Amino acid sequence: MKAITLNQPWASLIAEGFQSYEVRRWCPPRYKILQRIGIHAGGKHVETDQIVDLMNRLSGDFPGRSITSKDAIPFLESCLEDTRRLPRSAVICTAFLGRPRLAKGLCEGSSPISPRLWAWPLSDAQTLRVPARIAGQPDLWEWDQSHEPDQLL
């Protein structure tokens, strides 16, 4: 299965069902569209001010956001209290990759999103019981989940 590495808290927002798109500078290969991919949480430490900034942006009327619900705010608040809720250096879920589209199509009116970015729709996230510890890689990379049997919740 292919996987993609995302920084936290974005990987967990997908796993929890709060984020419906991942925005990238490139479109995924056609042969991976309409399939499940692994969502890998990168190893980069998340600063609390990054989470607070994201919560502030979610509270406002930010056009074109890819997070579908303000319900993400209580989740992010809990991450501030206990950063272990944001696993790092691990595949934490799989998600269905839909048909990508230009990110500018996500927004009405003026948008802070570059017209050259691609929005990857991600749905039906299935969380792993135990995060699969593995180093991430750039782009889409091959994740051998054969040593992770029956991990999906």
What does pLDDT average to in each consecutive run of 10 residues of the chain (153 residues)?
A: 95 93 91 95 92 84 59 91 90 96 66 76 94 93 75 54
Q: Quick one: which of 107, 104, 101, 105 has its CA closest to 119? A: 101
Has residue 146 been placed in a domain? no
Helix residue spans in the chain (DSSP H)? 10-15, 48-59, 72-81
pLDDT at 68: 59
The structural domain count of the chain equals 1
pLDDT at 83: 80
Has residue 145 been placed in a domain? no
Has residue 28 been placed in a domain? yes
Has residue 153 been placed in a domain? no
3-state DSSP assignment of residue 153: coil
Has residue 149 been placed in a domain? no
Torsional class of 87: left (φ above 0), alpha (ψ -120 to 50), beta (otherwise): beta
**Angle between helix 72-81 and 48-59 (nearest 10):** 160
Has residue 47 been placed in a domain? yes
pLDDT at 11: 96
pLDDT at 70: 73
Has residue 124 been placed in a domain? yes
Q: What CATH number is attached to the domain comprising 80?
A: 2.30.130.30
pLDDT at 96: 97
Distance, CA of 64 to CA of 84 (rounded, Å): 29
pLDDT at 140: 93
- Residue-range definition of the domain harbouring residue 91: 2-139
At residue 100, what is the residue type?
Answer: P
